[in-house]
Chain A
């Protein structure tokens, strides 16, 4: 157990819908990262927050947004969902802003029908 929690574990929804994925980092970690894992794209970095501020952005679609709250938990919002958005979404956390020692949560499996 990495200490990073993610909810829900599974999510099944329809095209065009909007969903919210939630992540709680390990105690003491200030950075939260979101990654997408799919068979064709592998593990792709989406976005990083550090203590509530956006620090780095990857190939995140405009339909996707994220935020980190004062209690350091983070939410990833996915809207206007498409079939191709079906994937595993992982949250990771670390103490610092660098990429060092990122600990991953168990993931949310999103299925868009």
Chain B
């Protein structure tokens, strides 16, 4: 019940295309779902986050879509750029877990020029 499953493991997208990364969770007590971006040698950086009371949140080229009934959420990167090439992690927290973030396994995104 504590797992967050992320797919795909790796993704190659052409410049200008849409990158889509999916995550699924089991614990219905989770109430906070962030996405992090990590470049090699750096710490994860908070990109965007959503709560279950909304179905979509958009910030610039990044959009989270949230499906509460399916217990799934996804990150869409519009107009993908080579500078977006990084590893992306979804995560979840909430319930009686304190501040514990449970991370997905990560998706390595490569945007080709």
Contacts and interface: CB of A to CB of B under 8 A. Distances in A.
B: contact size bracket: 20 to 34
19 contacts: A31-B99, A33-B99, A33-B101, A42-B104, A42-B106, A45-B100, A45-B102, A48-B98, A48-B99, A55-B99, A56-B97, A56-B98, A56-B99, A92-B43, A98-B98, A99-B100, A104-B43, A104-B45, A105-B43
A85 B47 CA distance: 29
Interface of A is mostly: strand
Interface string B85-100: 0000101011001111
Contacts of B16: none
B61 interface: no
Given A31-B99, A48-B100, A99 B43 contact: no
A48 B34 CA distance: 18
Interface of B: 32, 34, 36, 42-46, 49, 89, 91, 93-94, 97-106
Given A43-B103, A97-B98, A90 B49 contact: no
A86 B70 CA distance: 37
3 interchain residue pairs of minimum CB distance: A99-B93, A56-B98, A104-B43
B4 to A, nearest CB: 10
A33 B99 CA distance: 8
